[in-house]
Amino acid sequence: MSVKAEMKVVTVTLNPAVDKTVIVPNFRPERVVRAKEVYIYPSGKGVNVARVLVRLGVKAICLGFVSGHFGTFLVDGLTCEGIEHDFTTVSDETRINLTIRDPETGLEVHLVEPGARVSERDWQRFVETYQRHISDASWVAFCGSLPPGAPTDAYAQLIRIARGRGTPCALDTSGEALRKGVEALPTLVKPNRQELEDLVGEKLDSDEKLRSAILQTHKLGLDLVVVSLGKEGAIGSDGVNLWKAKPPPVKVVNTIGSGDALLGGLIFALLKEMPLDEALKFAVATGTANTLVDGPCYVDPQDIHEILSATSVRAW
């Protein structure tokens, strides 16, 4: 499966992170907790989306802010993986997001730092870099939280620039960043159930409520809405047809980055011009392939294809 060689996806991660996972069998919150194993990865949601695309053979470049020693670790790691990047450097320090995983009970605790502060001048420097890179982009993905100091309408500003050039764009964020971002009409949003609940201000505890929230989101003017539902798969909608794709049960070793893997798979499928039902199925298989491997979005294309053949999709 290949996409046209000249296609390039820009992923924007304004608040990237170094992901550190410590494995603690029988974890208890005591004064001294000893880890059995430690893993450390360059991460952040857009970085993870780029990783999936590169693994599927698509050119992707990561933009955003990095800083300090951990920022250097992050960009050096991406270079080693063959993932292109052009981050804007700021002072402060790139954050570390810590996960404590207990393989005995399946417990995962995520300790998420706020991230490195950016100034108004940093933001302007970033926008200049962004404008340079989107001139030949086939898609842009805006992913994750905003760092302290970034304008609250940061995604709306960037989406308007992309849309002004006719470049399709995807938004995967939460809270106020999502609410303000959707006003600028990205082509696609990918909330999970909780993020959609926050966006529409209602608990979505039935299929009917979920369906009407999706259709309500389309009314704003969005082309595609994909709601991910963890092990239940995902629902995809173009405002007329709704589809639900469900993966087979798998032995999960990690869930970090599954939403990012799904988005990477979805953008790949849309670049390949798959119809929405097929694209959704591919996206769900990619999300589930992420759960089989340690580390965010180090998906194996072979796993994706095996899961794909056992993933169902139906009109919903």
Ligand X SMILES: Nc1ncnc2c1ncn2[C@@H]1O[C@H](COP(=O)(O)OP(=O)(O)OP(=O)(O)O)[C@@H](O)[C@H]1O
Is 259 a binding residue for ligand X by CB under 6 A? The answer is yes
Specify whether the CB–CB gap between 101 and 108 falls below 8 A.
yes
Q: For residue 221, what are the CA distances in angstroms to 53, 183, 266?
A: 27, 9, 20
Interstrand relation of 108-111 and 88-89 (parallel, antiparallel or unpaired): unpaired
Q: Which of 185, 200, 250, 274 binds ligand X (CB under 6 A)?
A: 250
Nearest residue to ligand X on Cβ basis = 259
CB of 198 to Mg ion, least distance (A): 12
Q: DSSP letter string over 146-188?
A: PPTTS-TTHHHHHHHHHHHTT--EEEE--HHHHHHHHTT--SE
Is 192 a binding residue for ligand X by CB under 6 A? The answer is yes
What stretch of H or E contains 208? helix 207-219
Is 168 a binding residue for Mg ion by CB under 5 A? The answer is no
Comparing CB distances to ligand X, the nearer of 7 and 169 is: 169
Q: Which of 258, 295, 308, 313 binds ligand X (CB under 6 A)?
A: 258
Span of 23-31, 69-77, 158-166, 226-234 interacting with ligand X by CB under 6 A: 226-234
In the 8-state DSSP scheme, what is residue 82?
A: T
What is the residue type of 52?
A: V
CB of 257 to ligand X, least distance (A): 5
CB of 192 to ligand X, least distance (A): 3
User: Choosing among ligand X, Mg ion, none, which partner's interface includes residue 291 (Cβ < 5 to 8 Å by kind)?
Assistant: ligand X
Is 295 a binding residue for ligand X by CB under 6 A? The answer is no
CB of 124 to Mg ion, least distance (A): 28
Interstrand relation of 59-66 and 17-23 (parallel, antiparallel or unpaired): unpaired
260 is catalytic: yes
In our burial notation (b when 16+ CB lie closer than 10 A, e otherwise), range 110-127 reads: eeeeebbbbeeebbebbe
Q: Which residues contribute to the site for ligand X (CB under 6 A)?
A: 192, 228-231, 233-234, 247, 250, 252, 255, 257-260, 262, 284, 287-288, 291
